[in-house]
């Protein structure tokens, strides 16, 4: 048994279909600027108001992967939590996220393979109740037992 399992981590043995965890985060101009710096994605649709106004978005938008990163935060911090290993993720971007939007990132357990410690998660992000991202993640969940 792992005695030092971080609080909030849900081991494979304790996961159940339908479990949901979430976080809410306001996406700020600073978040977008920092993401551009770290990722080196300086597309002006994210950083330049004048440029972005002339696009189909009619204004600046956050990087899609910044929004997707909120899903990663829920998986890595809450469900299953610390010790989780990402195996795969599909993403479909449905609508833009703009500076000042509050994103609700949700993760729901859809399937569990206890023998392989694999968990399939429904992943989604919403702004004002409207889906802006959806997808599915496969992860290797932490266990209480040593192999």
In what order do the strands lie in the sheet containing 102-113? 20-26, 102-113, 118-127, 130-140, 85-93
Residue 50 has a pLDDT of 97
- Which residues of the chain, if any, have pLDDT below 50? 1-6, 147
pTM: 0.91
Structure-block tokens of residue 64: 């899609």
Supply the pLDDT for residue 46: 98
Give the residue from 40, 37, 61 showing the smallest Cα distance to 49: 61
Tell me the domains of the chain and their CATH numbers.
12-27+61-140 (3.10.129.10)
Cα 61 to Cα 144: distance, rounded to the nearest angstrom: 42
For position 146, what pLDDT does the model report?
58
H/E segment holding residue 135: strand 130-140
In the block, which residue shows the tokens 């005695």? 3
Q: What is the pLDDT of residue 7?
A: 60
């Amino acid at each position: 048994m792992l005695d030092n399992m971080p609080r909030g981590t849900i081991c494979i043995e304790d996961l159940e279909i339908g479990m949901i965890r979430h976080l809410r985060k306001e996406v700020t101009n600073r978040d977008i600027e920092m993401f551009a710096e770290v990722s080196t994605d300086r597309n002006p649709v994210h950083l330049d108001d004048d440029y972005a106004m002339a696009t189909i978005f009619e204004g600046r938008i956050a990087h899609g992967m910044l929004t997707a990163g909120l899903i990663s935060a829920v998986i890595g911090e809450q469900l299953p939590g610390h010790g989780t290993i990402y195996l795969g993720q599909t993403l479909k971007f449905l609508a833009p996220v703009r500076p000042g939007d509050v994103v609700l990132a949700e993760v729901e357990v859809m399937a569990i393979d206890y023998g392989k410690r694999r968990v399939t998660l429904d992943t989604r992000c919403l702004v004002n109740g409207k889906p802006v991202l959806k997808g599915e993640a496969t992860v290797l969940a932490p266990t209480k037992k040593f192999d």
